[in-house]
Amino acid sequence: MLYKLGVDLGGTKTEAILLDDSLNVLERKRIPTPKDNYSEIVDSISNLVLEVSRNVSDFSLGICTPGAISKKTGLIKNSNTQCLIGKPLKEDLEKQLKKNIAMENDANCFVMAESKMGAAKNFELVFGVIMGTGVGGGITINGKLHAGRTNIAGEWGHHTLHRNGNSCYCGKTGCVETYISGPALEQQWKLLSGESKS
């Protein structure tokens, strides 16, 4: 039996799940994502994979990440987890785990799963929206991922909402993500209420 192990690397949490051939959940674990430290993120993913797979001998491994993976360089780009930008995450994890990895943008993974097995199964055109630490999206057409020439089709978090609005880590101002991501909403809450809310 070939088991399937998936890792969701998020800006706030990292979660791993181990499935059998019938997609039954065998193991699941969630940990906080290390903040602003690429090496710690690589180590935490490796340790999580080893822990969740400790009782199986062979498994396929897929990892979804914030940001896109450059088709030309294999480096992460456009990630709200900024310490990933310009880094060879797939290559570094394959070296550390000594295993081939399938890696894709988290919104693309989400929309593919919904198109193949979820609420959007059998729909011709699907746009999946991610709203968490960042804001993103993925598109499938006839059950196939539409990533575009630069691998960022569907990524709407950096479209301009207000021309002279909030500053964004991407260098632009007024990006959607600076208004409706989790951290942006928390910041707005603090400004409006004068208190912090978790």
Domain ranges of the chain: 3-106, 119-193
pLDDT of residue 4: 97
Q: Using 70 as the pLDDT threshold, list the residues of the chain that sit under it.
A: 196-198
pTM: 0.89
147-194 pLDDT, tens digit per residue, is 988 888 999 999 999 999 999 988 999 999 999 999 999 999 999 998
The CATH-assigned architecture of domain 119-193 is 2-Layer Sandwich (3.30)
Burial 116-132 (b: 16+ CB within 10 A, else e): eeeebeeeeebebebeb
What's the fold here for domain 3-106?
Nucleotidyltransferase; domain 5 (3.30.420)
pLDDT of residue 198: 56
pLDDT of residue 83: 96
